[in-house]
Structure 1
Amino acid sequence: MDLYRRLWRMSSVPFVFFLGFVLIFGTRVQAWSKEGHIMTCQIAQDLLEPEAAHAVRMLLPDYVDGNLSALCVWPDQIRHWYKYRWTSSLHFIDTPDETCNFDYINNMTEALLFLSHFMGDIHQVWDREIILTAAKDFHGKDMSLLQQDIEGNFTDVRLM
């Protein structure tokens, strides 16, 4: 019995250290931020041809004044609502094929918001911390200046 207690104490020590590590440093690991989604949508909208930009503005509700980035985080906000529970799995790479189909698209505004949001999810490699650090250190917390610099690094996609 004494041996059992010694083994229990020895095996619980690494677990306690692991748990402490997770609690201390786990808060630093965060998902893609709203800022990343907002910038992705704004850059995408700025790169649209005039006709496509007009179509996007017509699909958006009046209260966002034609600004797609104002609603780019909407899919994250509603995915746990009963009406939109089917969308929760769409946020992950292992989504079953039968979940991704056109049967759910009966509202083009919602389809636009999901598409723009998931494009932001695809671009998660930018990483939340990189965006926020660059905005703070190099752009004086002004996300629009950071966005302009990112857009300035793009080549003219219309020439391709």
Structure 2
Amino acid sequence: MGGTGFWWTWRVLGSLLLVPGILGWGKEGHYTICKIAEGFLSEEALAAVKELLPASAKGDLAEVCSWPDEIRHSYHWRWSGPLHYVDTPDFKCNYKYCRDCHDSAGHKDRCVTAAIYNYSMQLSSGYHESISESGYNLTEALMFLSHFIGDVHQPLHVGFTGDEGGNTIIVRWYRRKTNLHHVWDNMIIESAVKTYYSKDLAIMIKAIERNITDGWFNVIPSWKICANNQTVCPNEHASESISLACKYAYRNATPGSTLTDDYFLSRLPVVEKRLAQSGVRLAATLNRIFSSQAKQIADA
């Protein structure tokens, strides 16, 4: 896998007070991913997730999947900002862990793929050792991991360095001035909910779930697999994202352009498939982490 020299140490659970901030995938996107994941969890994984969730979640993983976005701009959590994305060289349209996984100051292993490796390791080793004796905060590890698996599937969270993943590309979404990153985080999903799903996110989630069980049924097993029996494989997912960013997100979205039906209708299927893949892969990851077999290996 990629680097393992994670320099940030685990933090004591801070206040769950939610503060305003820029959201990745938007709250609706992360909610959708975790709601889809809940439907694919094994009994063991579901029990473990419910055990680790904060009381405020009321047993629903989807309720806290935006938490890392909601706290990232507060002083105590500012260190987590670079963990939501990984920038790649402009126009190369590929991702390489050793080249790309660093923050803006050049500190290695500070990006979304490193964070996924880190928090999956914390969950796996900490949960199977003993929750009470673990040196990690497993509640936070669960929430961070669930969120970051979503982030790495958003194509512009693996975008170009020069435009900060589309954040500096100013466009219009129909009549509204925004930036390209925000279009992919929020606006495609919001427009879809309004246009096709009666302004009800739950209806959109059900439609994506039907696609998973029907339209994408034959490819679901391949979505779940990580090569070489790895617990997580975010490098592969990041490579998918930058490829999609070049093929769909950046194309026909130059600074000052107005994005309307042509862009929306051709990109919505990409967004919905990435949400589906995120949910299926999050569940597969948690199933591997919390399986009895994983515990037996840890105890051996």
Task: Give the structure-2-normalised TM-score.
Answer: 0.39
1-structure distance, mates of 2:44, 2:79: 32
1-structure distance, mates of 2:202, 2:82: 31
1-structure distance, mates of 2:45, 2:192: 31
What residue is the counterpart of 1:60 in the other structure? 53
Structure 2 letter corresponding to 1:151: E
Q: Calculate percent identity across the aligned residue pairs.
A: 42
What residue is the counterpart of 2:209 in the other structure? 151
Cα 1:31/1:158, change in 2 over 3 Å = closer
Please say if 1:32 is aligned against 2:62.
no
What residue is the counterpart of 1:113 in the other structure? 143
Structural mapping, 1:1-160, within 5 Å: 32-94=25-87, 95-96=101-102, 97-99=108-110, 100=114, 102=118, 106-125=136-155, 127=184, 128-155=186-213, 157=220
1:85 Cα deviation from its structure 2 partner: 2.2
1-structure distance, mates of 2:57, 2:25: 22
Structure 1 letter corresponding to 2:63: A
Structure 2 letter corresponding to 1:41: C
> Which one has the largest radius of gyration?
1
Q: Which whole-Å deviations, capped at 9, do the CAs of 1:89-134 have from their partners, x for residues lacking one? A: 101204423334749x521111111111112212324933232222
Cα RMSD after superposing both structures: 2.8
Structure 1 letter corresponding to 2:47: H
Secondary structure of 1:98's aligned partner: coil
2-structure distance, mates of 1:90, 1:116: 13
1-structure distance, mates of 2:65, 2:24: 15
1:39 Cα deviation from its structure 2 partner: 0.5
Q: Which runs of 4+ in 1 moved over 6 A?
A: none
More helix by share: 1
Higher mean C-alpha deviation, range 33-42 or range 74-83 = 74-83
1:77 Cα deviation from its structure 2 partner: 1.4
Cα 1:112/1:136, change in 2 over 3 Å = same
1:158 Cα deviation from its structure 2 partner: 6.7
User: Can you give the 5+ residue segments of structure 2 that lack an aligned partner in the other structure?
Assistant: 1-22, 88-100, 103-107, 123-135, 156-182, 225-300
Aligned residue pairs total 131
Cα 1:151/1:111, change in 2 over 3 Å = same
Secondary structure of 2:109's aligned partner: helix
